[in-house]
Amino acid sequence: MSLARASWRAFVVSIRLRVISPWSYLNWLVFPLLFAAVGLYVLNTRGASSSHLVYGVLGGGLIGYWSVAYIDAGNGIQDERWSGTLEQIFATPTPLWAILLGKVCGGMLFGLLSFLPTAAFAYLGFHAVLPALDPWKFVISLGVLTLAFFCIAITLAPLFALWRSAFQMLNGFELGVYILCGFMFPVAVLAPWAQGVAGVLAPTWAVRALYASTVAGGPHDFALWWLVAGALSVAYLVCAYFLYGLVEREARVSGELALA
Amino acid sequence: MRRLGLEVAVFGRSTYLQYVALFQWATIRGYIAYKILLPVTQILFFVELGVYATGRQNALYFALGNALQLTANAGIFGVIATVANERQFGTLPLLLASPANRLVTFLSRAIVNVIDGVATVVIGLAVTVVLFGLDLHQANLPLLALCVVVISLTTAGLGLMFGSIGLVMRDAIIIANLVYYLLLIVCGINFPVSRLPGVLQLVAYSLPLTRGVQAARDAAAGASLGQVSGLLGGELLIGLLWAMGGYALFRILESWARRGGLQEAY
């Protein structure tokens, strides 16, 4: 019960911090809208099929959701270090994972908001809608995607704290993730080797299911896609378990984490 | 004459110091991440998006547009960060207290980023040639190079304008993000400006890049200097106006920051 309360408090604090942070608005509101605008202009060519436009409707939201997941939530430990509160967090009897759970959930909630402005923009600006939306499959796919992003954020948090250049590299490769996960166009258009790389990323499968739930045509192997995304997400969590061990060692044994 | 020499010396010293002190992110890893990885993936993303939407035959349109837009990476991000970092590093009060010519120190903030912008476009064009087979046999290469230099200068002019806001705003890099991605929409990088609503077309032609990118596309198709001189002249004029506006804003905000004691507010 006390762990749930600690997570809840971390969640509330993270939401409050995001409400007043301009960066937060950049990630969940501005970026998604800008990418949605480019996507919709490019995809909305004369005679474009409705399946093309779907990528414009949801693509910006997916980009915003991912940005919040990896930047805001993934920096859960790093933020504490920059704020000088890392030692206090490690000194409290509450386990680190319980605090991060609340923080990451707060980030994910803000990330989900990205879909609202982009969908509204697509509808009002381009009269673009989701043509054959299957609500249940859409919701489940979004849930699977949320699980994938959550597991990635939980895994990245210790990684970013241990290796500062990891964030730099992922930040530089941000648009590469958009490509490999098929946020704005299907992965099937990529070279075979790139599709192989995309296959080990959990969001790729969840995004595939998400788009399939909005159109009538094409393959609809939802169960398989959800299963693969779920399995890969669990694999990330296993990696995260070992990374948190490393963070604990750096913070408590060597005391070097705050110096990194 | 002696005064001019002194100003040139201040410009050179200031440029050198801003390179060694404010280009601090340019470690090897930082450079790979933000100057190689980011540009390459940006080109790949928009080319794949364009190919998916309009077909393989249009790949070069997207590749060239995005390769040229990379000048804004240095011109916008670099210049804004350069001005804003003075405040973050606590050196702004020293700069404002110095008797050095403001215009000279102001312009020196941009010069390294202009050179860096040209380097980034060269990387982008190399990627475009290798991955998408951009055929430059017909291109007027000296003119294309001139276009790249002009675009780098004009985007730096825009960067100076928004960099000035860094004197009084804590998160000026947010503005950099906003402006950088806005240029992707309105400057004819991924689709023609004519597809935008009338008001946005007006915005497009009041910004750097729009004419410069069009001139560079023409140069890549083999146009002569005479054919694109109007576009390049307009591009230079727009960049100059933004830089002058930036300098005026810099002086106003300098005075405001001094009065309000905002130089060290961080």
The interface predicted TM-score (ipTM) is: 0.91
Tell me the C-alpha distance between A213 and B88, whole Å.
47
Lowest model confidence (mean pLDDT) among A207-216, B41-50, B84-93: B84-93
Place B107 in a pLDDT band, splitting at 50, 70 and 90.
confident
For residue A178, pLDDT over 80 is answered with yes
**Number of domains chain A is built from:** 1
How far is the first Cα of chain A from the last one, in angstroms, to the nearest whole number?
34
Residue-level pLDDT at B15:
81
- Segments making up each domain of chain B, as ranges: 2-258
Chain B contact set for A48 (CB, 8 A)? 53
Which residue numbers of B have CB closer than 8 Å to A's CBs? 29-30, 32-34, 36-38, 41-42, 44-46, 48-54, 171, 174, 177-178, 181-182, 184-185, 190-191, 195
Return the DSSP state at B32: I
Q: Are A127 and A46 in contact (CB under 8 A)?
A: no
Tell me the C-alpha distance between A16 and A36, whole Å.
27
Residue-level pLDDT at B117:
87
> How close A90 comes to chain B (CA, Å)?
27
Between A79 and A4, name the one with better pLDDT: A4
Q: Any residues with CB less than 8 A from the CB of B175 and at least 6 apart, and which? A: B80, B162, B165, B169
Domain that holds residue A112: 2-259
Between A75 and B175, name the one with better pLDDT: B175
For residue A113, pLDDT over 80 is answered with yes
Q: Which of A36, A27, A39 is nearest to A60 (CA)?
A: A36
Residue-level pLDDT at B264:
63
Q: What average pLDDT score do residues A67-83 get?
A: 79
Residue-level pLDDT at B26:
66
Say which residue the tokens 């958009």 belong to: A178
* Alpha-helix residue ranges (DSSP H) falling in B55-171: 59-69, 71-72, 79-88, 92-97, 102-132, 141-165
Q: Residue B95 corresponds to which amino acid? A: L
Helical pair B59-69 and B210-220, crossing angle rounded to 10 deg: 130
For an interface test with A, the pick among B38, B43, B52 (most A C-beta atoms closer than 10 Å) comes out as B52
Residue-level pLDDT at B3:
79
Q: Looking at the complex, does the CB of residue A92 fall below 8 Å from at least one CB of chain B?
A: no
Question: What share of chain B has pLDDT > 70, as a percent?
Answer: 96
Asked if the Cβ–Cβ distance from B41 to A165 is below 8 Å, we say no
Burial category of B4 from C-beta neighbours within 10 Å (exposed 0-12, middle 13-18, buried 19 and up):
exposed
Q: Are B118 and B148 in contact (CB under 8 A)?
A: yes
Tell me the C-alpha distance between B166 and A69, whole Å.
28
Tell me the C-alpha distance between B95 and B84, whole Å.
12
Which pair of structure tokens corresponds to residue B211?
A: 């004419």
Distance (Å) of CA B117 to CA B90, B120, B153, B154, B246: 27, 5, 9, 11, 19
Write down the pTM of the prediction: 0.89
Residue-level pLDDT at B22:
63
Place B191 in a pLDDT band, splitting at 50, 70 and 90.
very high
Q: Which of B56, B110, B116, B103 is nearest to B81 (CA)?
A: B110
Q: What average pLDDT score do residues A6-14 get?
A: 92
Say which residue the tokens 């916008």 belong to: B76
Q: What average pLDDT score do residues B192-214 get?
A: 95
Q: Any residues with CB less than 8 A from the CB of A213 and at least 6 apart, and which? A: A133, A134, A137, A138, A141, A222
Return the DSSP state at B100: S
Q: Are A37 and B182 in contact (CB under 8 A)?
A: no
Asked if the Cβ–Cβ distance from B54 to A45 is below 8 Å, we say yes
Tell me the C-alpha distance between B6 and A254, whole Å.
53
Task: Name the most confidently modeled range: B76-85, B127-136, B190-199.
Answer: B190-199
Lowest model confidence (mean pLDDT) among A159-168, A221-230, B182-191: A159-168
Backbone angles phi, psi at A236, to 5 degrees: -65, -40
Q: Per-residue pLDDT tens for A129-156?
A: 777 789 999 999 999 999 999 999 999 8
Q: Looking at the complex, does the CB of residue A181 fall below 8 Å from at least one CB of chain B?
A: no
Q: Looking at the complex, does the CB of residue A49 fall below 8 Å from at least one CB of chain B?
A: no
Asked if the Cβ–Cβ distance from A42 to B53 is below 8 Å, we say yes
* Alpha-helix residue ranges (DSSP H) falling in A21-134: 22-25, 31-43, 50-67, 76-83, 86-91, 96-112, 115-126
Residue-level pLDDT at A1:
67
Q: Any residues with CB less than 8 A from the CB of A128 and at least 6 apart, and which? A: A40, A44, A53, A54, A56, A57, A122
Residue-level pLDDT at B166:
76
- Selecting from A37, A55, A176 the residue whose C-beta is nearest the C-beta of B41 gives A176
